[in-house]
Amino acid sequence: MRLFYAIMVPQEIQEQLAPIQKHLRGNWRPVKPDQMHITLAFMPQYPEGKSKPLLELGDRISKTRDGFEIRLKGTGYFPNEGSPRVWFVKTEAPELQEISEALTSQIDYPFEDKGFKAHITLARKKGPAPRVPPQVFDLTWKASSFALVQSNLKLSGPTYKILKTFKFRDFGQ
């Protein structure tokens, strides 16, 4: 099964990001606002029914950290501007890298290691499509938790199921 740890984007930020997806043309597939997140670690083929160590790891790491501010400034493309496949929002918070490293260094199972680049995916390109001009904004929120999420791929796109939310120390357990 596909699992990932992520910080889910709060609804008030989703509501501010969703309108910029209206700039998409052609074969871009927008991410549904309620599925927007920042991936911290991704395990593309984790064994079914063996998530207990991942749940315990999430508990341990969340108890060592306080919530922190995440800043969103504007948009960009992966893998590059010339032939983009993903349109995303840049995120800024050093804690994201720290938590990702804490998780991936303690996961006793192969995870996808493409190098950590904190971002929120807004859309994926499924064929020819024009790029959207850079969108600039200044949004912030205080992250209160992260989650272990199960991803199921379907023809209409992935669906996510939150298996457990891990609140940071200052937001209680």
Q: What is the pLDDT of residues 129-165, one digit of tens each?
A: 888 889 998 999 999 999 999 999 887 778 999 999 9
Report, as residue numbers or ranges, the catalytic residues: 37, 119
pLDDT in tens, 13-26: 999 999 999 999 99
pLDDT value at residue 68: 98
CA 112, 115, 116, 119: dihedral to nearest 10 degrees? -90
Q: Give the C-alpha separation, 2 to 129, whole Å.
A: 28
| The 86-92 sheet, strands edge to edge | 28-30, 119-125, 86-92, 68-78, 136-143
pLDDT in tens, 52-105: 999 999 999 999 999 999 999 899 999 877 788 999 999 999 999 999 999 999
What's the average model confidence in pLDDT over 27-56? Answer: 93
pLDDT value at residue 70: 98
pLDDT value at residue 132: 87
CA-closest candidate to residue 59, choices 170, 171, 168, 142: 168
What's the average model confidence in pLDDT over 96-124? Answer: 90
Task: Calculate what percentage of the chain has a pLDDT beyond 90.
Answer: 74
- Whether the predicted pLDDT of 2 surpasses 80: yes
Give the phi and the psi of residue 129 in degrees, each rounded to 5.
-165, 140
- Whether the predicted pLDDT of 173 surpasses 70: no
